[in-house]
Amino acid sequence: MTAPLVESVTPVAVGAGKAPLSVLFLAEGDAETRDSWSGTAVSVVTHLRKAGHAVRTADVDLYGWPKWTAAARSYSPDRARWSVRYRLGAAGFDARSRQAARHFARVRDRIDVVFQIGATFEPRGRGSIPYVLYCDSNIRVAQRGTTSGQSHAMHLPPAEMTAIQSREAAIYRGASAILTISEQLRRSFVEDFGIDPARVHAVHAGPNLEVGAGLPAHIPDRSSGPPTILFVGRQFQRKGGDVLLSAFRLVREQVRDAELVIVGPTECPTREPGVTWLGFLSSDDPVQRERLATAYRAAHVFCLPTRFEPFGIVFLEAMHWGLPCVGTSTGAVPEMIADGRSGYTVPADDPVILADRLCQLLRDRSLASRMGQEGHHRAVTYFTWPAVVARMTAVLHQVVERA
């Protein structure tokens, strides 16, 4: 079964001297919805179209018997390892690559360039059409992340890791350009895979919410209300939720009326004074989205002490809300949080230092306000999808012109 290909071919203005491009957008999941790549895929597609390009989306994910066949071929009695083998192993890779070939057979003569999310499949059957990758990680970054105890690579033995790296390396070498979600990842492609630096571009990302639909038009007034910390993350352990709880107990010793609001986990992680759990709130549901907006509006500090984080788009959403952010010096987090200016970065797994930074911001609302404004300025200047897609489009034009 081949997932449907969705077309949009109504260009608007593209930019001085540049013709609109015809793009085939390949991703796992439906890139017309937030079901693909945590909503990032639809953000890219939407803003490519707003920039005037004709974008056809194609889903290479597996459904029905291809899915069950790949799952059976990837089987391991360890469920965590089984999941990673299905996602990154040879069986799933080959099946998704065949899906990509079927999509190419239908549109090959009508596209200028392929825009592919990640390297969990090969763009087979494209002929001489160039392809560009947009990545938030790679297997070498995941491998280094095993020291955190939270990376999926920890479930892979050396032989499988080597095979995955070989498949990914071939895709990276064949790409006309690689767009990365962070500068840290850009360096990994250059240093770990030997990719020409001129072909790797850190374009970053934007929030997967829109102004008026999850993001505010203006920074809200936070001069009143109890001093409140907000945590937003579904994977509570990987995102350092347990570390934040330990730090919050220390915070309450100094800031007696401090509160912590937790959004994301489907099960309540704790029941103790000062902690409010809101569960998972979907940005696709207007009622739940408004509850999330209310949480952002009432908070004074955003905190996500993550252990392993390729990027962390939720930081950008908090910055757009004008919140000072406290995160870890992990992955690309320092590329978003300017330490000492828009918030703080702290070592992972250190509740004492984390509590100290939180207390500084909760006690001094003028400091929190200044840092929140600085973060908001960084977010609206650099971390928006129109700005990111403009950087992407410049690369896409170069690729097509060379081809």
Average pLDDT, integer, range 45-51:
96
* Percent of the chain residues topping a pLDDT of 70: 96
pLDDT at 86 over 70: yes
CA nearest neighbour of 238 among 203, 220, 213, 264: 264
* Cα distance between residue 388 and residue 360, in whole Å: 33
* Cα distance between residue 115 and residue 48, in whole Å: 11
The answer to whether the pTM exceeds 0.85 is yes
Q: Residue 250 contacts by C-beta under 8 Å, 6 or more apart in sequence?
A: 351, 352, 355
Contact criterion met (CB below 8 Å) for 27 and 41 = yes
The H-assigned helical ranges of 15-62 are 40-50
Which pLDDT score, from 0 to 100, does residue 9 have? 34
Which pLDDT score, from 0 to 100, does residue 157 have? 92
Which pLDDT score, from 0 to 100, does residue 6 have? 53
Lowest-confidence region among 30-39, 196-205, 360-369: 30-39
CA nearest neighbour of 87 among 158, 172, 28, 145: 28
Which pLDDT score, from 0 to 100, does residue 64 have? 97
Residue reference for tokens 């759990």: 277
Binned at pLDDT 50, 70 and 90, residue 150 comes out as confident
* Cα distance between residue 19 and residue 34, in whole Å: 29
* Cα distance between residue 381 and residue 211, in whole Å: 14
353 to 97, 119, 255, 271, 363: CA distances (angstroms):
46, 37, 15, 24, 16
Across the chain, mean pLDDT equals 93
Binned at pLDDT 50, 70 and 90, residue 399 comes out as very high
Secondary structure (DSSP) of 256-313: TT-EEEEES-SS-----TTEEEEE---TTSHHHHHHHHHHHHH-SEEEE--SS-S--H
Q: What is the pLDDT of residues 154-203, one digit of tens each?
A: 999 999 999 999 999 999 999 999 999 999 999 999 999 999 999 999 99
Average pLDDT, integer, range 211-234:
92
24 to 31, 175, 208, 276, 327: CA distances (angstroms):
11, 14, 21, 44, 36
The pairing of beta strand 177-180 with beta strand 131-135: parallel
Which pLDDT score, from 0 to 100, does residue 208 have? 86
* Cα distance between residue 50 and residue 11, in whole Å: 8
* Percent of the chain residues topping a pLDDT of 90: 86
Average pLDDT, integer, range 19-32:
96
- In the chain, what are the domains? 5-206+384-402 (3.40.50.2000), 210-382 (3.40.50.2000)
Which pLDDT score, from 0 to 100, does residue 10 have? 34
CA nearest neighbour of 354 among 318, 391, 329, 319: 329
Q: What is the pLDDT of residues 306-364, one digit of tens each?
A: 998 888 999 999 999 999 999 999 989 999 999 999 999 999 999 999 999 999 999 99
Binned at pLDDT 50, 70 and 90, residue 207 comes out as very high
The pairing of beta strand 200-202 with beta strand 210-211: unpaired
* Cα distance between residue 397 and residue 18, in whole Å: 8
CA nearest neighbour of 328 among 314, 313, 342, 308: 308
Average pLDDT, integer, range 270-298:
95
Q: What is the pLDDT of residues 235-260, one digit of tens each?
A: 999 999 999 999 999 999 999 999 99
Count of positions (residues) in the chain:
403
Q: Residue 6 contacts by C-beta under 8 Å, 6 or more apart in sequence?
A: 30, 31, 32, 56, 57, 58
Lowest-confidence region among 10-19, 67-76, 124-133: 10-19
Which pLDDT score, from 0 to 100, does residue 4 have? 52
User: How open is the CA angle 290-293-296, to the nearest 5 degrees?
Assistant: 155
